[in-house]
Every structure is written in structure tokens, then in C-alpha cells.
Amino acid sequence: MKKFAFFVAVFVLVSGFCFAADPAEGFWISVDEKSGKATAGWEIYTSGNQLFGRILSLADKPQNEKASKVKDSYPGFPVSGKLSEMTVVGTPWIFNLTLDKQPGNWSGGSIVDPTDGKIYKCKITFRPQDGKKFLKDTLEMRGEIGLGIGRSQFWQKATKDEAAGLR
């Protein structure tokens, strides 16, 4: 009986690790690197074996704002319909990233900037709080145009209410 209880305990522990959420998943606040102000609240989530991100709220903008400056469609975009008629909030602007070698590292997908319609290659890297460079859990979101040319934003970990509550 003790062996059985031991194996059940080990199975529960191991299966918990197997099904634990990736550290990049969750709620985040995007921050403008020049002003330091919050721009949007995001939900980063997996579906199947891919990572996606949708905007939950916008700072200093109407929450029902249409993405009027984007194209009607983009290759691989996960939502059907004319994107230029969709709202910025609720649409998955980050899509089709795949897990790199270790949890918290995703690449190979795309991000569309809903303010101007430009599409970029996207990499996301979870940066845990280290008390030095990262004072709290941070998500590095990197958009690239190719050959490693691009820029990174550093998003701050948030609760669901914080990510959905920007106005």
C-alpha cells in the first residue's frame, strides 16, 4: 500500500509539472519604452502548441476602437474576417509562435501593430524577477523586420483585472 501511495504522489507531482502553464502565459501590461507609460493590457495564452496574444484594454483610447489602419488579412492570421473592421481590443495581434528549447521562449510567429498595420516577426522571452535588471517578472516582446533587425519592449506582469482595466 505504501508503494502505491508513493507512485500516486510521484504521478501527481510529475503530471503537475507537465501541465503547468508556460511562464510567458498570463496577463501583461505593454509599456512604451520612451515615455514609460502603459499602452495596453494583454493576455498571452497558448492554443494547441502555439502562443497567441490579444489586447484586453487600451490606455487613453476608446475600448471599442476599430483597427482601421490594418490590412483586411495577413498570412497565418488566426481569425477570419476583415481585420480592418475588427476592434483592437479582443483581437489576437500576436499569433503562431512556437516554443523554443525551453519554457518561456517563443519565436517563429508574428505580431501586427494595430496602430499602423505593420507586421513583424515576433519573439517572446520570459525574464524572471532577479532583483537586479528585472525587479519583477517581465516579458520581452521583440518585433523584427528580418536579419535580427528590430526592437524589444519589456512588458510588466499584471493581474487579469489590471490588464483588462486600462482606460
Binned at pLDDT 50, 70 and 90, residue 19 comes out as low
- The pairing of beta strand 38-47 with beta strand 119-127: unpaired
Has residue 162 got a pLDDT over 80?
yes
DSSP SS3 for 147: coil
Query: What domains lie within the chain, and their CATH numbers?
Result: 24-164 (2.40.128.520)
CA torsion angle 67 69 74 77 (round to 10):
-10
Q: Summarize pLDDT for 38-52 with one digit per residue, the tens.
A: 999 999 999 999 999
pLDDT at position 111 is: 98
Mean pLDDT confidence for 63-79: 96
The pLDDT score that the predictor gives to residue 13 is: 36
The residue written with cell numbers 481569425 in the block is 79
pTM: 0.87
In angstroms, rounded to a whole number, what is the distance separating the alpha carbons of residues 91 and 112?
10
pLDDT, residue 97, reads: 98
Of the two residues 14 and 60, the one the predictor is more confident about is: 60
pLDDT exceeds cutoff 50 at 7: no
Give residue for cell 516554443: 99
| pLDDT class of 26 with cuts at 50, 70, 90 | very high
Place of cell 502505491: 4
Taking residues 95-122, report their average pLDDT. Answer: 97
Taking the CA atoms of the chain, what radius of gyration do you get in angstroms?
Answer: 18
Indicate the average pLDDT of the chain. 90
pLDDT at residue 121 above 60? yes
CA–CA dist 46, 41 (Å, integer): 17
